[in-house]
Amino acid sequence: MEVSEFFLKLLVIIISAKFFAEVFSYLKLPSVLGEVIAGIIIGPSLFGFIQPEATFHLLAEIGILLLLFEVGLETDVGQIIKVGVQSTMVAITGVVAPFFLGFWLTYYIFDLALIPSLFVGGTMVATSIGITVRVLVDLKMQHTRVSKIVLGAAVLDDVIGVVILAVLYDFAVKGTVSIADTARILAFITAFLLLAPIIAKLFVPTLARLSSISRTKGMVPTLIVSMILGLAIISHKVGAPEILGSFAAGIALTRRFFLPLGATIEHYSHELAGKIEEGMKPIIELFVPIFFVMVGVSINFRVIDVGSSAFWNFALALTVIAIIGKLFSGLWVSGGWNKKLSTGIAMVPRGEVGLIFAEVGRRSNIFDDSIYAVIVFVVAFTTLLAPLALRYVMRDGE
């Protein structure tokens, strides 16, 4: 791709993201849905001007890192801890129920082989934390109790999903599962989640010092982005999703540092907090929409054989399973049915995570074209359905 062509395509991505986000906001719909629709329109599904190329996916990865950093930065750690048990149960149920329902449907009803059936079950596990978080932000519900439960569950869901993908891939290639490899991955991830916030906390005095003596512009965002990228790299090296590194960076830079027995201290000044927000906000607002547009670009409706009854039977059955499996997870949330339903729906969108599972299955020749098309349909439907459903379900502020 020539430089001028790249610039033109990037221009189209940025402008279309903003245009459709504005349109959907005026229609009182989540703006993230407009950005995903923009990707579907300019991508292979319709005009085909933007293809899911590696260059744009890299920009999208920066977007999701920055989004999760922002979420971590605004997260009330105390509230996350309070709902930790419920988040864990939501996450476990949101993994187990869709996996076994997807496997059962594929293996026993549609008579697929064992390995493809296990991989289909694996794709049902995914929850797109990016889609879920952005919808909650659009609805101004990111600070509610339900949002804290969903955020904690979605992060755990991502970790469990990566482990399941690694286990299934080993099983497909080697015909066996290495308990030692799985345990090692889990140990590394656990150690990272415990140590990353501490490392980032230790970075704050250096950040404050360099910010105060710097004679050039941009010192704070440069250091913050460096920390995000560094923790993302470490996260990847230990076998965890890169977004856990950026989320940990955000959590560590929340101004209120929580101590045992509920005590808190503010570990850096209002001035530095203002510099962090001022420096990072324009970067976040530029890159995050690129991520959601690329989610839409990655969904290629052209692979779907709309005239096949076999496709529709399988796709609709699997879609129902994909939705029901995640709705079960909301049963653990205390409160009325509105909160339980809101939580379940927030866990429904598969987004880019489901597409990663599908792509691994296709490239490994575990999925044929017809199964891949079904997965693409399920991912697309759940990704587009959840923002609309949440818009009408999450009415209260709890």
* Angle formed by the axes of helices 145-174 and 84-104, nearest 10°: 40
Per the CB < 8 A criterion, the answer to whether 383 and 350 are in contact is yes
Buried b or exposed e, range 361-370, using 16+ CB within 10 angstroms: bbeeebbeee
- Whether the pLDDT of residue 376 is over 60: the answer is yes
227 SS3 class: helix
pLDDT band, residue 9 (cuts 50/70/90): very high
pTM: 0.77
Instruction: Indicate whether 127 pLDDT > 60.
Output: yes
Pick the CATH number of 62-288+307-393 from 1.10.760.10, 1.20.1530.20, 1.10.340.30, 3.90.1150.10: 1.20.1530.20
- Which of 67-81, 266-280, 338-352 is modeled with the greatest confidence? 338-352
**Which tokens in the block code for residue 342?**
């809101």
Identify the three-state secondary structure at position 258. Answer: strand
Arithmetic mean of pLDDT over the chain: 82
Establish how many alpha carbons lie within 13 A of residue 11's alpha carbon, considering only the half-sphere containing its beta carbon.
6
- Per residue in 175-209, pLDDT (tens digit) is 666 777 777 777 777 777 677 767 767 777 788 78
Over residues 140-149, mean pLDDT: 79
Query: Residues 52-80: pLDDT tens digits?
Result: 888 898 999 898 889 888 877 776 666 66
Tell me the pLDDT tens digit for each residue of 318-330: 999 999 999 999 8
Residue in this structure with the two tokens 């993302």, named with its chain if needed: 232
Give the whole-angstrom CA distance, residue 151 versus residue 31: 19
Q: Is the pLDDT of residue 359 over 50?
A: yes
Report the DSSP beta bridge partners of residue 264.
258
- Cα dihedral sign, 370-122-329-192: negative
CA dist 283 → 63, 221, 224, 290 (Å): 9, 9, 11, 12
Residues in a beta bridge with 257: 265
Whether residue 27 has pLDDT greater than 80:
yes
Tell me the percentage of the chain whose pLDDT exceeds 70. 88
Summarize the confidence of residues 122-136 as an average pLDDT: 81
pLDDT level of residue 38 (50, 70, 90 thresholds): very high
Give, to the nearest 10 degrees, the angle between helix 219-237 and helix 54-73: 110
pLDDT score for 258: 40
Q: What is the pLDDT of residues 285-315, one digit of tens each?
A: 999 899 889 988 988 888 887 778 888 999 9
Higher pLDDT, 71 or 376: 376
- Rounded percentage of the chain residues whose pLDDT exceeds 90: 20
Q: Determine the pLDDT at residue 257.
A: 43
Give the pLDDT of residue 397.
47
Kindly indicate the confidence band of residue 363, based on its pLDDT and cuts at 50, 70 and 90: confident
Q: Decide if pLDDT at 281 tops 90.
A: no
Q: How far apart are CA 347 and CA 125, in angstroms?
A: 10
DSSP state of 27: T
Tell me the residue ranges of DSSP E strands in 4-141: none
Residue 314's pLDDT is 93
pLDDT at position 176:
67
pLDDT tens by residue, 106-125: 999 999 988 889 889 988 88
Domain range annotation of the chain: 62-288+307-393
What pLDDT does residue 8 have? 94
Measured distance CA(102)–CA(358) in Å, rounded: 14
Each residue's pLDDT tens digit, 212-263: 888 888 888 898 899 889 888 988 887 777 877 887 788 777 654 443 333 3
